């Protein structure tokens, strides 16, 4: 019989203990899960959600993040000019040396969002934690935010929608865009695109709290250079890119 590996036994015991604590502690100690938020608690500005995309790990032609977004948010996945696309893969080719890159583009969740500035009714708004959203109840469908967004991140719902996700209300005639999967983030999870990228072992997307120096995103941004798209506009986007 194969002898028991003591380090393996220790690991299993420690893991079992950790799982028990993580399962029981929230109930006993009223601890919220990491970064999760109880429904009755307000969103605070202590957190600034951000997304880091490592384009060197993002393969041309891979659209796992796009498929996951469509699934999570109940989008058709159609690519007609009238179909909403919350996230899209952009293929880049440097005009001079010809180097190519591929990256996902979506709402950049700016700290100074032009879509919020121009919205006449205040339907376009930014949460305290930096997530930019559209209040579907007061959006009048004027599309001024779509004109103002430098990233072409927003879509108008051009026709009646069916098969909606209960977590993601949508409506014909209103504007919508990436929400960082706010329904998941509020449960302590990561956005669907990030989860799909990690599940497929691409590891090109890191989601986290930009305000927390210990978070992986903050550490990587501190260690390596990154790019803000249309940095000239000084909008302080929450999405950063590496490798372009």
Which residue from 41, 121, 164, 165 is in contact with other proteins, where contact means CB under 8 A? 121
Distance CA 235, CA 237 (A): 6
- 134 burial type by CB count under 10 A (0-12 exposed, 13-18 middle, 19+ buried): buried
Location of structure tokens 């380090």:
7
Which residue from 51, 132, 139, 204 is in contact with other proteins, where contact means CB under 8 A? 139
Tell me the DSSP string of 110-177.
-SS-HHHHH-SSS-EEE-TTS-EEE-TTT-----HHHHH-TT---EE--S---S--TTS---TT-EE-
148 binds other proteins (CB under 8 A): yes
Interface of this chain with other proteins, residues 157 to 186, rule: CB under 8 A: 157-160, 172-175
Q: Shortest approach of other proteins to residue 90 CB, angstroms?
A: 4
231 binds other proteins (CB under 8 A): no
81 binds other proteins (CB under 8 A): yes
Which residue from 140, 165, 203, 216 is in contact with other proteins, where contact means CB under 8 A? 140
120 binds other proteins (CB under 8 A): yes
- 1 burial type by CB count under 10 A (0-12 exposed, 13-18 middle, 19+ buried): exposed
Q: Shortest approach of other proteins to residue 89 CB, angstroms?
A: 6
2 binds other proteins (CB under 8 A): no
Task: Candidates 23-31, 192-200, 210-218, 229-237: pick the segment binding other proteins (CB under 8 A).
Answer: 229-237
Which residue from 38, 147, 164, 169 is in contact with other proteins, where contact means CB under 8 A? 147
Which residue from 84, 113, 208, 238 is in contact with other proteins, where contact means CB under 8 A? 84
Instruction: Choose between 35 and 240: whose C-beta lies nearer to other proteins.
Output: 240
> Which residues pair with residue 156 across a beta bridge?
175
Tokens in use for 106? Answer: 């979506």
Location of structure tokens 């001079």:
96
Which residue from 67, 138, 168, 200 is in contact with other proteins, where contact means CB under 8 A? 138
Asked whether the beta carbons of 205 and 104 are under 8 A apart, the reply is yes
Instruction: Choose between 36 and 144: whose C-beta lies nearer to other proteins.
Output: 144
Alpha-carbon dihedral angle through residues 109, 114, 116, 118, given to the nearest 10 degrees: -160
Residues near other proteins (CB under 8 A) are 79, 81-85, 88-96, 101, 105, 114, 116-123, 138-144, 146-152, 154-160, 172-175, 229-230, 233, 244
């Amino acid at each position: 019989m194969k002898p028991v590996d003591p380090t393996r036994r220790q690991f299993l015991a420690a893991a079992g203990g950790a799982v028990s604590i993580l399962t029981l502690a929230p109930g006993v100690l009223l601890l919220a899960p990491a970064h999760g938020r109880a429904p009755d608690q307000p969103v605070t500005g202590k957190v600034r959600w951000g997304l880091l995309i490592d384009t060197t790990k993002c393969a041309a032609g891979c659209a796992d993040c796009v498929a996951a977004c469509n699934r999570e948010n109940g989008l058709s996945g159609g690519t007609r000019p009238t179909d909403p696309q919350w996230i899209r893969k952009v293929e880049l080719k440097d005009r001079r040396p010809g180097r190519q890159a591929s990256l996902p583009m979506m709402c950049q969740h700016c700290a100074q969002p032009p879509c919020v500035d121009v919205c006449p009714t205040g339907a376009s708004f930014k949460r305290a934690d930096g997530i930019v959203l559209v209040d579907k109840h007061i959006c009048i469908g004027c599309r001024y935010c779509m004109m103002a967004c430098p990233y072409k991140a927003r879509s108008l719902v051009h026709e009646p929608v069916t098969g909606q996700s209960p977590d993601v209300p949508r409506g014909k005639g209103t504007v919508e865009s990436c929400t960082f999967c706010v329904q998941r983030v509020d449960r302590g999870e990561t956005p669907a695109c990030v989860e799909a990228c990690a599940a497929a072992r691409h590891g090109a997307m890191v989601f986290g709290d930009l305000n927390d120096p210990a978070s992986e995103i903050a550490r990587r941004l501190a260690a390596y250079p990154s790019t803000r798209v249309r940095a000239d506009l000084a909008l302080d986007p929450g999405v950063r890119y590496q490798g372009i």
